[in-house]
Amino acid sequence: MVYVKWVFWGTFWTVIFAFFHYTLPQHDVARITDTYEQRVDTTEAPIFWSRPETVTEGPGANRDVLFIQTFRTNERPMIYRNEDTGWGWPPYFKFDTSNLQAEAADLRSASATPQWVAVTHYGWRNEFLSIFPNAISVRAVDSPDVRIIPWFNIIILTAFAALTWGIWARWRKWRARRADPMVDDIL
């Protein structure tokens, strides 16, 4: 029984962690080498692509997606997709995809004369699933060592921790007062 409990809570917290890791914004420092548009089949892993209303997509259809290709400070490549999230999930309410593509194209630089940028994004890069994080914004930064404090994530995660603790404390109190005496009565 104790293993069932471990597996259950292990799975539960892994899912919670993955959810936040995928959804919350993260900042990468990178230099943009190019921007491009590519036709992709989003039906392979549909939950990792947006479903904006500005493009029409029927079942089994493929469509054009904008991409931003970069090298991060560790000199490894990172490719971002650039898609509207629209009014759907995750709630970034992004509608300025074309503007972002223009800004990204404007900040391109070669490795000899790098222009570092902070890319705010959510999502995961996975080569096997061919999925890409979605870029939310880019802004130029002075150096690759810039320190970005994720205030938004700190607030959200603190609020989530407080909520979890509140539920847990009430659950424990309820168990001690009601459930355990009832079980003791029966046994």
Partner 1 sequence: MAGLIRLIIIGGILLTIVYVALSFYSRAVRRGKLEADWNVQGRPGNMKDFVDNGLKEYEGSLRRKLILLVYVVPISVVGTIVYLTNYS
Q: Which is nearer to partner 1, 53 or 180 (by Cβ)?
A: 53
CB of 106 to partner 1, least distance (A): 17
Q: Is there a contact between 107 and 80 (Cβ–Cβ < 8 Å)?
A: no
- Report the residue from 27, 81, 94, 121 that binds partner 1 according to the rule CB under 8 A: 94
**What's 19's DSSP letter?**
H
Residue 81 binds partner 1, judged by CB under 8 A: no
Sole binder of partner 1 in the list 40, 69, 73, 86 (CB under 8 A): 86
The reply on whether position 92 binds partner 1 by CB under 8 A is: yes
Contact 118, 29 (CB under 8 A): yes
Query: 180, exposed or middle or buried, with CB in 10 Å at 0-12, 13-18, 19+?
Result: exposed
**Residue whose C-alpha is closest to residue 89's, from 146, 19, 150, 35:** 19
Bridge partners (DSSP) of residue 69 are 34, 79
CA–CA distance from 22 to each of 17, 93, 144 (Å)?
A: 9, 16, 24
Q: Which is nearer to partner 1, 131 or 136 (CB)?
A: 136
The residue among 1 and 149 lying less far from partner 1, judged by its C-beta, is: 149
Q: For residues 92 and 116, which CB has a smaller minimum distance to partner 1 in the complex?
A: 92
Residue 27 binds partner 1 (CB under 8 A): no
Residue numbers of the site for partner 1 (CB under 8 A)?
A: 53, 86-88, 91-96, 99, 136-137
